[in-house]
Amino acid sequence: MKKYLVIGNPIKHSLSPKLHNYWFEKNNIDANYDRRQINKNEIQEVISEIKENKLNGVNITVPFKSDVIPFLDKLSEESQVTKSVNTIYMRNKKLVGHNTDIKGFELSLKEIQFNLKNKVIFILGAGGVVPSIIYSLQKLGVSKIIVSNRTKQKAENLKKNFSKISIVDWGELPEFDMIINATSLGLSKGDKIGLDLNNISKEKFFYDVIYNPKETNFLRTGKRLGCQVSNGKMMFIYQAFEAFKLWHNIKPAVTEDLKKFLDK
């Protein structure tokens, strides 16, 4: 039986095992996908298990997506630019790191049918997932990306790899077509972004990377204003879809049943 794993800290809320095991069953694959909470000094051990074929593939989640990089033999271009790896696999005896969050974000937008060409995107946050979102948005041909982060220096640091982005102070609200919450604000029930979004017109799009809870205060505001909204569930599903394709050479089905199953 093949073995797969997601590592992170914390990890108990990860839905990756549920999703991959569902697809194993649907595709008659003899495999198991588990989760493991680790500390940074245990990355090496997990890497050894892949090399020894005890593990056939690993997903990495917060906060280790860049910490794993020094242990790998090769990085995809996407992982190099974003300095982020969420999927590891073996190819020709080499350990390869790839970033499927980028494609996951892109496919989620395709499903929502929001055309980003020449749009202005306002991103809140500068944490782990933001380089992947920026990479994706640039590929999709947006006209401008504006980033705002409480710790401004972290937003400024993004400019090293993405020189065309603009930065505004935390609390400022520039003109935009789409606003993306990529902060962790919203994971707890009472969390508020602290921006006055009440004068936003209804043709704007609100996207929250958070998918649990399903509806953050941020998305609730968007909805109340009559804007189109989306949480991060499809991004989560499609990053897993891309990892599954890499590992098994199969495109797993993304169905309504699957979406409901993940909510249970």
CB of 126 to ligand ATR, least distance (A): 5
Binding segment for ligand ATR among 90-98, 145-153, 217-225, 226-234 (CB under 6 A)?
A: 145-153
Give the x-and-dash track for 167-186 against ligand ATR (CB under 6 A).
----------------xxx-
User: 59-75 burial string, b = 16+ CB within 10 Å, else e?
Assistant: bbbeebbeebbebbeeb
Q: Among 10, 40, 54, 63, which residue sits at the site for ligand ATR (rule: CB under 6 A)?
A: 63
* 110 sits near ligand ATR (criterion: CB under 6 A): no
Query: Side by side, which strands form the sheet with 178-181?
Result: 166-168, 144-148, 120-124, 178-181, 205-208, 228-230
* Dihedral sign, Cα of residue 128, residue 133, residue 139, residue 143: negative
**Of residues 18, 26, 65, 160, which has the active-site annotation?**
65
Looking at the Cβ atoms of 63 and 141, the one nearer to ligand ATR is: 63
Would you give the binding string for ligand ATR spanning residues 115-144, x where CB under 6 A is met?
----------xxxxx---------------
What's the closest the beta carbon of residue 135 comes to ligand ATR, in angstroms? 15
Chain-centroid distance of CA 35 in Å reads 17
Segment interacting with ligand ATR (CB under 6 A) among 49-57, 76-84, 148-156, 161-169: 148-156
Q: Where are the beta strands (DSSP E) in 66-115?
A: 74-75, 87-91, 94-98
Helix (H), strand (E) at residue 85 = none
> What gap in Å lies between CA 190 and CA 117, rounded to an integer?
34
Per the annotation, the verdict on 65 as an active-site residue is yes
Q: Please tell me the distance from the alpha carbon of residue 198 to that of residue 248, in angstroms, as a whole number.
A: 46
The residues assigned a catalytic role are 65
Q: Which residues bind ligand ATR (CB under 6 A)?
A: 62-63, 125-129, 149-151, 154, 183-185
